[in-house]
Structure formats: structure tokens, C-alpha cells
Chain A
Amino acid sequence: MNTDVEELLREGMERFTADLRAPAGLTRLAERRRRRRLAFGSLAGVAAGLAAGAVALAVVVVPDAGHAGIDTTAYVVNRVGSALSAAEPGDIAQMTITTSGAPQPYGTTGTTTAEEWSYGDQWRAVVYSSPGHVVYDEGGSSKSVYTLVNYATRTWARQPRLGSPAPLAAVKTGSGGCEPLGLAAFPVLFRIGLPAIASYASSLPATVASALRAAVSCGALTVAGHQRVDGTDAIKLTSRPASPISETIWVSPGTYLPVRAVVGSPFAGQSGPTQTVDISWLPPTAQNLAKLTVPVPAGFRRVPLVGALLPLQKLPAAQLPRPGKGFGVPPEKFATVYLDPPTPTLRPKQP
């Protein structure tokens, strides 16, 4: 019986594999697989060391002929996350933010710009009107002192315990990827509005790295090839079609730090403002750290904070940056902000 079973097993194995023929070019196939595995292995190996969790390796063949390599979204996203984590406390993020198409009262739109700097818990934002004049300059110091300079009224104010920007409730990773946590929590990277006292309206420059990191780590971005940004090669990351985010981030292939971001309306099918953010990462030299300080021009008068803030609310609409509702700011929050219509014909008649 024993011999029978062994013999039957051998015959069974013979029959089970009888029609098998090795494919032609095994060496070539194996060599190709080896090259592919080396390409993926070197990337995945680094990514595995960086990744906190398993990320599906969505493979994107970079279409740019100038870049024959293969990037994986997981790899790039993890490198970006790590680079941001390293840069956030170490480098100063300098941003130039252009907001275009922001809805304004009475059906107009405009383009405004701002410059922002972020370094740890220190931040500063200079907001310009459409003609390019400084509207206000605000910032928070490491001692949590908030400073606001109103260029329209040539006044300035300083208030302790207001220096920290409002916390960013951006995104969290849910079962389906990025999930918004209510209106204020849409993954908005940058908000431009009135100078804020820890309210919605403030830009949140101090949290830019956190916001970017949240955006890249929520799994909603995918590598979309290489493009040139200001003449320099950059990896393009775009939000996936099903994502509530509508944004594109370009990162440096050398440092994996974001160099540009374009954020659109997070509301599907709704037109809204678009923000383009150009980012530089500066070493914390004395000269660069000075950019975090809000200078008070000579001749400006110090007033209580409310005295510097309220006049801004009465500026003509064209002189103020607009936080559109597409950027997560409830419009009613600012219903009283844009007081003066550009044309008197739209003003309600006085009794």
C-alpha cells in the first residue's frame, strides 16, 4: 500500500504537470521583472520606512519624456509628509498667495494677494488690495502677542494672548479617504480675510505645513507627472476625482517640499475662488526671521485693538480681500464686513 501510494503520487504529479512548458525567454522575463522590482523596491523600501501605515501603491508612470522614472503616489506623498514634518519647525515658509475669482458683494469678483510667513508658532501676513496697496499687516509672535497695523487709518494695535492663529481643522483620514468635518473643516490651505482675532477670517500661515501635510496624507492626492514651476522641475500632485478637495500641489523632486499649490472650490460643481500659493522655504537666518516681525511704520498711531480693527470693516469692498464661501467661511460671518457697495444704485433707499 505504501509503495502504491508513493507511486500513485508520483504518477499524479507527472500527470498534473504533463502539459507544462516553460515560456520562451525566461531569462529576459526574469531580467525585466528584476529591473522592475529594483525600481519599485528602492522606492517602496524608502516609502516603507517613512509610511506609518499601508498605502496602496497607485503607480503612475510619469508621462514627461524627460523623466523616465516611475513615481509612486505613496512614495511621493510620504516623502512630502516627511519633508514637511522636517521643515515645519526648521524652515520658514514664505508664501505669496493670489486669490482670484473670489465672489464679492454685488456680483463682482477680484484678485487679491497676500504675503505670509510661518515659522513654528510665529506668523505674519501682509494683505494687499487689488491695486497693490498694503491694507493691513498682522502677525503673532512666539510670545503669543498679536500685532495689527492698519495702513488705511495709519494706526496699529498690539494685544497679548492673541498671537496664536486659530487652530486648523482641516481633514482627517476616514474610511473613504479625506472626509470633511463640517464647513469650517474643509481642507483649505489658506484663508484670506480680515485680520482675525482667532476667528475664521484669519489666514492661518502658522499652520500651513500642517495643512499641507494633512492634504497630502489624507490619501486624496495622486501623482500626475512632472511640470516646470518657475523654470524648475516639480512633481505634480492632484486631488483624486472623488475627493472633496480640489487642489494641486507641486513639490520639489529634490526636497519634496511644496513649491506651489492651487486650491479650488471644495464644493463639487460650484465655481468659486481659486488660490494660487507660491511657497519658498527659507532657512531661519536672522534676516529671514526678521520677516516674521510686523513693523510699525513711523508716524502710525497706537490705538486699542478694536480701534485698529473696526475701520478695516468699513473699508470699501474693493480694498478688502474676500473670503468666499467656497473657502469654508460662512458668508453670513462676513455679512457685516463688506459694508460699502461699489455703486450707490444698489444701496437701499433711505426713508
Chain B
Amino acid sequence: MAADRSAAELEQFLSERADHLLRTAVLLAGSREAGEDLLQTAIERLLRRWRRLDGDPEGYLRRTLCNLATDGYRRTGRWRQKERLLRAGLRQEQDPAGAVDLRDALVRLLLRLPPRQRAVLVLRYWEQLTDAEAAEALGCSEGTVKSAGSRGMARLRELAGEWNDTAAICGRNGKGS
């Protein structure tokens, strides 16, 4: 039966790629819970198109994840709620006495960035996509990807600079352990 075969193929695909896609989703959404929710929503959409889907299902899922993360979450206001929580958490973690290294701080700041900037950085530095590939995944121009990535990285560099200054004052290694 075609439906059974398609279902089996989907199971096979997810068994191979679900872990990686979940990690992407968590980075886009900001937490494990939100990431799982995001991934399942994307898989729901994939299920609807599975039989007639042309091309790479992972690309479709990645695009869906990005669209949901940048549009749906922001539109529903969930991002704003999440942002407030993350901001509060980040202020706590920025305590120089805290045992958080720069890599953790960068990820936490990443999660604070506006959804599109965050998605660009996740696609570029986690998924290792080119600007053109990221633009296709996000459904925007390459220029938009470059400018969003540039702004996002600028914020991260600011943090890295502050972190290094603080580390110098506290006598800690800025790169972390």
C-alpha cells in the first residue's frame, strides 16, 4: 500500500534526522519544550504533504521550522513571553560570579535575538548553510539574510567584548573552559 510505504519512509527519515532537527528546533524556539512543540508542529505539516512532497524532506522541515519560529511564534505573542523569561534568565547568568562561560552566554544571547536574526544565525552557524541556502529556507532575499546575520553577530560580539572585559577584571579566561 502506498500509504504504508510512505509512512515507513517517513519513519525512516525521522529516525535518521529527528535528533538533529530537534536540536535545530530547540535553538530556534529557545527551550527543549518549545523546540519539541515546534518540531511536532512542523512534522504535522510534513504529514499533510508527505505523499506529494517533491525534494528534500529535511529542507521542507527546516523551512517550516524557520517559518514557524519567525512568524508563528512572534505572531502569537509566545515569543514575547519567552523573551521576557529569557531576558530575566540572562541577567541572572551574566553575573560575573556565575559559572557560565562565553559559549553558554552566546547561546543565551542568541535566544534573545529577534526571531529572524536568530534563525539566520542558527542556519548559518549550526546548519552550516550558505547565505543563499539560508535565504531559501527563510523565504527571503540573500541580502536580508546578510543584514540580519550581520546585526545578530554584532550583538554577539558586543557580548563577547563585554565578557572579555569582565573576565579580565575577574581574572577569568574569556573563552571559557
Contact = CB atoms under 8 A, between A and B. Distances in A.
Interface of A: 1-2, 4-6, 8-13, 15-17, 20-23, 26-27, 29-31, 33-34, 37
B26 A12 contact: no
Nearest to B128: A10
Contact of A20 (B22, B48, B102, B110): B22
B23 A5 contact: no
A12 B44 contact: no
Interface in B45-93: 46-48
Nearest to A11: B103
Contacts of B48: 34
Query: Do most interface residues of chain A lie in helix, strand or loop, or is the interface mixed?
Result: helix
Interface string B127-164: 00000000000000000000000000100110010000
B107 A9 contact: yes
Interface string B111-126: 0000000000110011
Contacts of B43: 26-27, 30
Given A5-B157, A8-B103, A26 B40 contact: yes
Given A9-B110, A20-B23, A27 B11 contact: yes
B37 to A, nearest CB: 9
Interface residues of B, number: 39
A8 B160 contact: yes
A15 B40 CA distance: 22
Contacts of A34: 44, 47-48
Given A15-B104, A20-B19, A20-B22, A27 B47 contact: yes
A23 to B, nearest CB: 7
Query: Do most interface residues of chain B lie in helix, strand or loop, or is the interface mixed?
Result: helix
B40 A6 contact: no
B19 A30 contact: no
Given A8-B103, A20-B22, A20-B26, A13 B126 contact: yes
Return the 7 tightest CB-CB contacts between A and B, nearest first: A12-B103, A22-B18, A17-B23, A30-B43, A12-B107, A22-B22, A34-B44
A50 B36 CA distance: 33
Contacts of A13: 23, 27, 107, 110, 122, 125-126
B39 A26 contact: yes
A2 B26 contact: no
B23 A9 contact: no
A8 B10 contact: no
Most chain-B Cβ atoms within 10 A of its Cβ — which of A4, A5, A17?
Answer: A17
21 contacts: A1-B160, A5-B156, A8-B102, A8-B106, A10-B125, A12-B103, A13-B27, A13-B107, A13-B122, A15-B103, A15-B104, A16-B26, A17-B26, A17-B27, A21-B19, A26-B18, A26-B43, A27-B7, A27-B10, A27-B11, A30-B47
A144 to B, nearest CB: 51
